Chain A
Amino acid sequence: MAVCIAVIAKENYPLYIRSTPTENELKFHYMVHTSLDVVDEKISAMGKALVDQRELYLGLLYPTEDYKVYGYVTNSKVKFVMVVDSSNTALRDNEIRSMFRKLHNSYTDVMCNPFYNPGDRIQAFDNMVTSMMIQVC
């Protein structure tokens, strides 16, 4: 299942990052960071005229030996990055999409809270993210 989930702001700083603490978390942070380049590539590859048609789900950003990294961008350039264990072969694209959709919904809920200042760290994700991380483990 997802071993790391991160929400990156438009300016490419993390709003929320959480990983299953089984391993060195720094490694996941680094992977997420490097994946940002790929995300930017994919976004710019679309061309500025296609912003409306750009699909939010970016798909597999890059695979590594143990992990696969998936990306998702919102219309406000907030990025969701998810690191998934490669050994979990049963995980299909649709499931990843649905997970991103859930993330996006929770993110909008957090945005709706008037006490949340855009650009702050997000505290409210934990429940949902925990459920995602433990879901298929």
Chain B
Amino acid sequence: MEAAAAAAAAAAAAAAAGGGCGSGPPPLLLSEGEQQCYSELFARCAGAAGGGPGSGPPEAARVAPGTATAAAGPVADLFRASQLPAETLHQITELCGAKRVGYFGPTQFYIALKLIAAAQSGLPVRIESIKCELPLPRFMMSKNDGEIRFGNPAELHGTKVQIPYLTTEKNSFKRMDDEDKQQETQSPTMSPLASPPSSPPHYQRVPLSHGYSKLRSSAEQMHPAPYEARQPLVQPEGSSSGGPGTKPLRHQASLIRSFSVERELQDNSSYPDEPWRITEEQREYYVNQFRSLQPDPSSFISGSVAKNFFTKSKLSIPELSYIWELSDADCDGALTLPEFCAAFHLIVARKNGYPLPEGLPPTLQPEYLQAAFPKPKWDCQLFDSYSESLPANQQPRDLNRMETSVKDMADLPVPNQDVTSDDKQALKSTINEALPKDVSEDPATPKDSNSLKARPRSRSYSSTSIEEAMKRGEDPPTPPPRPQKTHSRASSLDLNKVFQPSVPATKSGLLPPPPALPPRPCPSQSEQVSEAELLPQLSRAPSQAAESSPAKKDVLYSQPPSKPIRRKFRPENQATENQEPSTAASGPASAATMKPHPTVQKQSSKQKKAIQTAIRKNKEANAVLARLNSELQQQLKEVHQERIALENQLEQLRPVTVL
């Protein structure tokens, strides 16, 4: 019975297709069988959209019963059922004109079907392809009108939206293969059924994906095409399905991107849950944070200390409570180092919008963490991060410095600034967005620190260090660096290095100064050479505290100029690093030292000035703080006296009231 109506519709539609597209795609010539099949499909899509028994999606309701448009949902479903890759479908959608007009009218639909047939026959997706005789397009789908939207239930996961969609896959977070990506593209059809997720996670996820895409755009080779294909595919559907559809669709795109990037990040995993795998840089960062709370890495952090620390992350208390439950495996109210790393990582992930898992993922179990990351070895980890993007290489330097400057007041602002001005992976970057709301007292100073001179930086540091010291207990932990387009992180790195001389004097016994940091790989230099140079360097550096620190200063001080200049300096860095340890220690192993000494001397004099100014600033800060302290003591005395006076009064009054 549907055939009769379909035939009538087919006649009308064919006429419309034949006659009505002046500016649209070229007129279609459909054979008899094609006409029937297409009209049937169109009627199904339109029928499912308009006349579905209450199970239609919201955008279907928007389709007025009189118009003959197929809703994007069933159409998209249908297209996916054709089992063509997403890019092809995207091309088809564009070509048939649906994207342009914003809906799938009969014309567009038929053209699209013809293109699908062409693609399935192996022809390129072009307007010309549809001119020739083609077999009917094949669709793998169930034949129920009402359920056409749901397609293959095994693939589409019910009424859940993106976040729960991901959790319905095997583990909470599945490796994104291409098949998965295809499945992901199917899920947007489900999204209109469920309410879109709350907006804050959406917005959080978008920066994540943007950060990732920005950072990884140069690095990733495999994913740009699918991403672009997916996003435009998402958009025409979004435009045609309207509001409820778009948000989750964008979610989807961003999530897809983020997860694929995550997979790229952690390709060596044997576990399916990449977001829960702690990378080297993250690990070091967490360890440093742990050390800032508790100097002994083998003991644990008490509950109250950890509470204060994690509260700074601005997550809600129930969430923090849940994270604690997950991470405190032995439920002793204290966090050992692996537990702390797990908790921190969960917080980071939550900040980035990943929902919290039901149970502790295997990669975050304390045993796993302890086995995977024994006592941090700076050398190896620095090299591990060698091949990562630029920011990643900076991270070890930051962490090295943060390690030594833990308790020092003046250094408190330093990590903040480091971090805020550093280029890092997006995972950490979003922490920046959340955590350093407390670093609000430094809004100007990160900008200052981004300047390339050492002096303005030290000035800014001293001005903030007072506030830092005052709010010492409440400052957020140094957030992971945030990705910024400007590679100004070097400046703050330098400042850290500049500050360092004041530190080792006070706590020489605490930790050895960090080893000389490897310069970033420069395309002009062979990486093997630099690695080879660094290896002996780094092994010697820990043993030579005094010599390596000037070397490091050289390395880092040359960082402040912008990136191209940094590259130029790199050979000099390497040269200086090579020269100084080599002169101090036994003969150098490297042969690629290039630059001569004059640059070294210039740098060292600059550094001396910077150090002196920094020392001066620190002294000023100390003086201010001492004054503040005395004032507060004074106030405390006064308050005490008031209290005593009040108590006396109370005593006097009391006999009266008793009577």
Contacts and interface: CB of A to CB of B under 8 A. Distances in A.
A104 to B, nearest CB: 13
Contact of A124 (B306, B307, B317, B325): B325
B320 A115 contact: yes
Q: Which among A112, A114, A116, A124 has the highest number of chain B CB atoms within 10 Å?
A: A114
Interface stretch (B126-134, B285-293, B326-334, B376-384): B326-334
Interface of B: 303-304, 306-307, 310, 317-318, 320-322, 324-325, 328, 331-333
Given A123-B318, A123-B321, A114 B303 contact: yes
A124 B303 contact: no
A48 to B, nearest CB: 30
A113 interface: yes
Interface string A89-102: 00000000000000
Contacts of B325: 109, 113, 124
A114 B307 CA distance: 6
B324 A115 contact: yes
Contacts of A109: 325, 331
Interface in A37-87: none
28 contacts: A108-B331, A109-B331, A111-B333, A112-B303, A112-B328, A112-B331, A112-B332, A112-B333, A113-B303, A113-B321, A113-B324, A113-B328, A114-B303, A114-B304, A114-B306, A114-B324, A114-B333, A115-B317, A115-B320, A115-B321, A115-B324, A116-B321, A123-B318, A123-B321, A123-B322, A124-B321, A124-B322, A124-B325
Contacts of A108: 331
A112 B325 CA distance: 9
Interface residues of A, number: 10
B309 to A, nearest CB: 10
B452 to A, nearest CB: 42
A112 B307 CA distance: 11
Given A113-B321, A114-B333, A116-B321, 16 more contacts: A108-B331, A109-B325, A112-B331, A114-B303, A114-B304, A114-B306, A114-B307, A114-B324, A115-B307, A115-B310, A115-B320, A115-B321, A115-B324, A123-B318, A123-B322, A124-B322
Nearest to B331: A109
Nearest to B333: A112
A23 to B, nearest CB: 29
Q: Which among B306, B317, B325, B333 has the highest number of chain A CB atoms within 10 Å?
A: B325
A115 B317 CA distance: 6
B310 to A, nearest CB: 8
A65 to B, nearest CB: 39
B489 to A, nearest CB: 33
A134 B307 CA distance: 34
B218 to A, nearest CB: 41
B320 to A, nearest CB: 5
Nearest to B301: A114
A108 B304 CA distance: 16
A108 B331 CA distance: 9
What are the 9 A-B residue pairs with the smallest beta carbon separation, nearest first?
A114-B303, A112-B333, A114-B307, A115-B321, A109-B331, A115-B320, A113-B324, A112-B331, A115-B317
A108 B324 CA distance: 14
Contacts of B303: 112-114
A116 B322 CA distance: 10
Interface in A100-137: 108-109, 111-116, 123-124
A114 to B, nearest CB: 3
A116 to B, nearest CB: 6
B358 to A, nearest CB: 9
Nearest to B335: A114
Contacts of B331: 108-109, 112
Q: Which among A109, A111, A112, A123 has the highest number of chain B CB atoms within 10 Å?
A: A112
Q: Which among A109, A115, A116 has the highest number of chain B CB atoms within 10 Å?
A: A115
A58 to B, nearest CB: 25
A109 B307 CA distance: 15
Nearest to B358: A127
A4 B317 CA distance: 27
A111 B331 CA distance: 9
